[in-house]
Structure 1
């Protein structure tokens, strides 16, 4: 993987958050805090950049499980204002009007988009910006819900791979419990990111870095990492098929 000067990266992200908030006359930032390392890292960065009194954390569970406690731990360790909003009644009411029962992936997308609506509702009333929590690994593979967790005003981690976010989190003092837990989007019970992606983030990031940033040939990547070409082609396919999620809607030219 690439070698970053992490203290410098933290300083640059803090500058970015402060600068972008000031540019639009924002009073602060609202963050969806899930109990995972990405949202925790964004919360820590934002509190450092803007001051804890200008941060609102929204904890929006569908399943009332240990993730809620972890999210509260993050908010309380920072001393930021936070709210817990159980989205199950909202999502279930929405589903009841569909006229069909969505599968678990579609239901997960509805959850993510419900959270987006709540984030922007609170941002609007407080004149806050919504800070997204997606990282570069998720962005490149399309591992996010379009117009859901992929929707934000600014995304401080979007140029950092997941494994780099873990390093940033350690330096910021994010609770070890949060850093070490298995990454999950919390869209259904026992769901984990790495199970869905089909490989560890460590391997995924090594492939993505070589494939996208260094633009190395898939055969060379497979040789360097001691893996099959098929694994590289699989990641290449994730990047290619998710291109539409990384751009605004397109229309025909006349």
Structure 2
């Protein structure tokens, strides 16, 4: 029964992707492939939806070499046309130009988080340039847990055209990964944005994905878990909103 539901939802996502592409009168799709499970699922979805006009971009940026290995394992499965754009030198030049002192922040961890966001935004600039050249949609890889907790970079991985995994909790993403044949090395690795050395999603948020899934489904969780979820959700409200505008000039 569960497999049938997954199969039906995959069919729905494929149809939805085509509808969104046609609505915008574009030719295909571009996705950033990181070696993580979310981007692997999206890549496999795109392959099923439109193998000919889907394109994957791997964008290491002073990254763990194993992430690129896992990304290539995903490509072995989904067969997407692809390219690798190493942003390490671009990232270094950015810091030289702006000046590391201007990117320190007020507390110890600020500089690390700012740097992670810089990497995410460099990647999105790259994806949009390639998508424009290919007359394509940029496809996001965030899931419902990341969206509700604001665990994405504003105008980085959050700045996309369509988000097919938007309604999926993390365990749902893993179900789709198994169904779509994502390699076990990707499914089994600890989720990470790869934004700094040894960074993991669960370690940074302070909760396991199992706890986050339960909380966001409205199931019973501890007060501590609820407080952490509320903290992340409230502090990231601005990420889920359109830019604010004042009253119109004509109204004065």
Deviation at 1:237, TM superposition (A): 2.0
Extract structure 1 runs of 4+ deviating beyond 2 A. 99-102, 251-254
- Alignment pair present for 1:238 and 2:246: no
Greater Cα shift, 193-202 or 74-83: 74-83
Q: Give the alignment partner of residue 247 of structure 2, picking from 221, 243, 253.
A: 253
Deviation at 1:20, TM superposition (A): 0.8
Q: Could you tell me how far apart the structure 2 residues matched to 1:174 and 1:251 are?
A: 43
| TM-score for the superposition, normalised by structure 2 | 0.90
How many residue pairs get aligned? The number is 238
Q: Give the alignment partner of residue 117 of structure 2, picking from 105, 109, 112.
A: 109
Q: Which residue of 1 aligns with 2:49?
A: 49
Deviation at 1:239, TM superposition (A): 1.2
Query: Deviations for 1:3-26, whole angstroms, at most 9, x for unmatched residues?
Result: x92222111111111111122222
Q: Which residue of 1 aligns with 2:184?
A: 176
Deviation at 1:251, TM superposition (A): 2.3
Q: Secondary structure at the match of 1:34?
A: coil
Q: Could you tell me how far apart the structure 1 residues matched to 2:239 and 2:49 are?
A: 29
Deviation at 1:100, TM superposition (A): 2.9
Deviation at 1:238, TM superposition (A): 1.3
Deviation at 1:135, TM superposition (A): 0.5
Query: Deviations for 1:54-113, whole angstroms, at most 9, x for unmatched residues?
Result: 111100011251000111111232111111111111111111111334311111111000
Please list every run of 5 or more consecutive structure 1 residues that lacks an aligned counterpart in the other structure.
211-220
Q: Which residue of 1 aligns with 2:23?
A: 23
Q: Secondary structure at the match of 1:144?
A: coil
Deviation at 1:182, TM superposition (A): 0.6
Q: Which residue of 1 aligns with 2:71?
A: 71
Q: Could you tell me how far apart the structure 2 residues matched to 1:208 and 1:236 are?
A: 10
- CA-based RMSD of the aligned residues comes to 1.7
Q: Which residue of 1 aligns with 2:195?
A: 187
Q: Could you tell me how far apart the structure 2 residues matched to 1:108 and 1:91 are?
A: 11
Deviation at 1:139, TM superposition (A): 0.3
Change (3 A) 1:64 1:236: closer
Q: Which residue of 1 aligns with 2:150?
A: 142
Q: Which residue of 2 aligns with 1:125?
A: 133
Q: Give the alignment partner of residue 158 of structure 1, picking from 158, 163, 166.
A: 166
Deviation at 1:230, TM superposition (A): 2.5
Deviation at 1:40, TM superposition (A): 0.5
Deviation at 1:169, TM superposition (A): 0.9
Q: Which residue of 1 aligns with 2:12?
A: 12
Q: Could you tell me how far apart the structure 1 residues matched to 2:247 and 2:145 are?
A: 32
Query: Deviations for 1:145-187, whole angstroms, at most 9, x for unmatched residues?
Result: 0000111110100111111100111111111111111100000
Greater Cα shift, 111-120 or 61-70: 61-70
